[in-house]
Amino acid sequence: MRCYCLLGICLLVLHSSVWAQVPEITERKVSEVTETEDPYLWLEDVTAEKSLEWVRARNEKTQTHLEARPEFADLNRDLLAILDSDERIPFVSKAGEYYYNFWRDKDHTRGIWRRTTLAEYRKASPAWELVLDLDALAEQEDENWVWDGAQILRPDLDLALIDLSRGGADASVTREFDLSKKSFVSDGFSRPEAKGGMDWIDRDTVFVFTDFGSGSMTSSGYPRIVKRWERGTPLDAASVVYEGTDADMYISASHDDSPGYERDFVSRTIAFYNNELYLRSDSGELTKVDAPNSASKSVHHQYLLLELRDAWTVNGQEFVPGSLLLTSFDDFMAGQREFEVLFEPTDNSSLASFSATRDFLVLNVLEDVKNRLYVMKPTAAGWQKSALRGAPQIGTVGVSAVDSDHSNAYWMTSSDYLTPTTLYYGELGEEPEQLKQLTPQFDATGLQVSQHFATSRDGTQVPYFMVSKENLERNGSQPTLLYGYGGFEISLTPGYNASVGRAWTTQGGVYVVANIRGGGEYGPRWHQAALKKNRLRAYEDFAAVAEDLIQQKITSTQHLGIQGGSNGGLLVGNMIALYPELFSAAVCQVPLLDMKRYHLLLAGASWMAEYGNPDADGEWDFIKTYSPYQNVDADTEYPAVLFTTSTRDDRVHPGHARKMMARMESQGHDVSYYENIEGGHGGAANNKQRAYMQSLAYTFLRERLFQE
């Protein structure tokens, strides 16, 4: 089964791109600045020697200071041991009789792709068959390859398309791999480095969407053209399937290889939550799936499923935002508009996801940010709903099909902040069996998880989770780390995080996760409440949680710190600029910060549906209220800040963190900086780098927040 869900692209999870191409400017725009207006503009030149000298100088200062702290060495060692541990669950995906897994540990820093059988996988220590050793490949080719996924050809299952990136960047290469010979096909399909991808049509044909040369990428830096490429022909001879516009975000195509339901699709992503899906005939004709652009469109076997983000009236019936609708795909394409409502949200519930098996659908519903799983069974009287047998009632629970074309088997995972992740294997209608559980990686004795609600400025109740000691003393002195994201309809649900446990909660710190607007905890309405001109609501929510922690005497300004990355880095930047009196320390990771120019840098243009366009009439008037780079000044006392980013991040431009650091440093504020030379948008390319950057962040926070 293939599920074509075009809006499952969350911030900063899009697959690919090169540097954003700036449209020709005919008149001066807000974002067109000079070095007089922005004296740190030169830091946007990522690899210029002057920029890198600036980076090295600040890296050295930060490293020298934090590495000298007495807790740093032990923390770094322990975090690396957690990341390299063999005790982790090796999650797998099924292809034929094999179950594939990609694995990193201390002996395989770049990782290995391996496979086993279900009988072996059930064992505590499965026997694995090595398919590809990425460390050996990197050494052989003298490249810092980072795994970016694989797609196995069905039904033959003897070939794969493997994506690799240099240093963890979004830009990647695709190579054809022979699974029987366990080697790359010397004259096989090979896509040069760019943002984009490929998809099997059959063993001799693929869809390819990538950088084909001048004008072939969108202004967001993603593919504008998709082509059909036949084996044995040069890439430039591939035939055009569809061309989008420069203003689109991402163009791609895919092949549904479900037996009996083979279809080709072309997707046009105009912006986040604005997409078009087309069915492609054998002759190349495209027919639009005529559902709202804001709806997420999924096709499974004979069904079309629509997740609505806006109200939709059709055939005289109105469906509310957040609903999941189902109908016959063929009937819909023939003009029929009769739907069955599989889910409709309530004030405290939203659809987190759904998964299709051969005969059923499983709905994953968030009820006040707690997962509940329901099985939907088709009957002559319509779809019947029942609770999934054996599903845990606490923590974050996820479910996915093992092989949606051939069975009703499913994987289920559960975890919370203190309970290690558990993997179950089950058949719908039967009790699931616990297959594996992560060995506890920190001592959770004496710790507890609780959920609370803070009241935001407009009266909205904002949920948050807190991990703390049992019988916590409310004296306002608890070192507290507040984390958030608040964007792109991404929900933050409880999950086991051994690094937080080892570095923070077991050391006496309180850990808090805020479910602020902009996220998806209560569906589309929660996200849409903080879009564009309403963006400040997300920051008001976060401030409300901070104020509640202080009012409840959990902590105080002196002991309260914040952390966030990417869009969460923008959140942290705004809390620094707008609410400096609430915090003493902030870790701002791979952030957006200069909202005047964000849409001109790398993939920034793809996020204008979220934040707005600084160059559109009147939009800079509200965007400037949440552009931290323009809102810091020398006369305000700010919390101490650690900025971290990656030179090779080709999604969020490292110039954001560089320029903010430079401006605040020049204003005399307490700021630190570390930029990893590799690592892409995740900030690190391997476990050693990841452990090191985590150690810098937690050491910085402990130094600032554990003070008397």
Q: Shortest CA distance to 374 belongs to which of 391, 386, 384, 366?
A: 386
Rounded CA-CA distance 404/426 in Å is: 13
Secondary structure letter of residue 539 according to DSSP: H
Set 172, 566, 606, 627: catalytic member: 566
406 is catalytic: no
Give the number of other CB atoms < 10 A from CB of residue 17: 27
Rounded CA-CA distance 170/213 in Å is: 18
* φ, ψ for residue 371, nearest 5 deg: -80, 140
Q: Answer for the pair 461, 548: CB distance below 8 angstroms, yes or no.
A: no
Contacts of 615 (CB under 8 A, 6+ apart): 29, 30, 31, 599
What is the SS3 assignment for 10-21?
Answer: CCCCCCCCCCCC
Rounded CA-CA distance 435/411 in Å is: 10
681 is catalytic: yes
Rounded CA-CA distance 18/196 in Å is: 9
Rounded CA-CA distance 588/65 in Å is: 18
Rounded CA-CA distance 264/255 in Å is: 5
Rounded CA-CA distance 433/424 in Å is: 5
Q: Shortest CA distance to 534 belongs to which of 490, 498, 597, 486?
A: 486
Rounded CA-CA distance 257/150 in Å is: 16
Q: Answer for the pair 193, 173: CB distance below 8 angstroms, yes or no.
A: yes
Contacts of 568 (CB under 8 A, 6+ apart): 483, 484, 485, 486, 487, 589, 591
Left (φ > 0), alpha (ψ -120 to 50) or beta: where does 168 sit?
left
Left (φ > 0), alpha (ψ -120 to 50) or beta: where does 112 sit?
beta
* φ, ψ for residue 345, nearest 5 deg: -70, 160
> Can you tell me which residue has the tokens 């900030």?
683
3-state class (DSSP) for residue 633: coil
**E strands of 74-186, at which residues?**
93-95, 98-105, 108-116, 129-133, 145-152, 159-166, 172-178, 183-184
Set 258, 491, 681, 695: catalytic member: 681
Rounded CA-CA distance 193/244 in Å is: 21
Cα 165 versus chain centre, distance: 17
> What would the DSSP string read from start to end of 218-286?
-TTSSB-EEEEEETTS-GGGPEEEEE--TT-SEEEEEEE--TT--EEEEEEEEETTEEEEEEE-TT--E
How far lies 241's CA from each of 42, 290, 549, in Å? 40, 19, 55
- Pure H helices in 515-647: 524-528, 536-551, 567-578, 608-611, 619-623, 628-631
> Can you tell me which residue has the tokens 């039904």?
155
**Cα 551–553–554 angle (5° rounding)?**
115
Long-range contact list for 380-383, CB < 8 A, 24+ apart? Answer: 382/340, 383/326, 383/340, 383/342
Query: Could you give the residue numbers annotated as active site?
Result: 566, 681
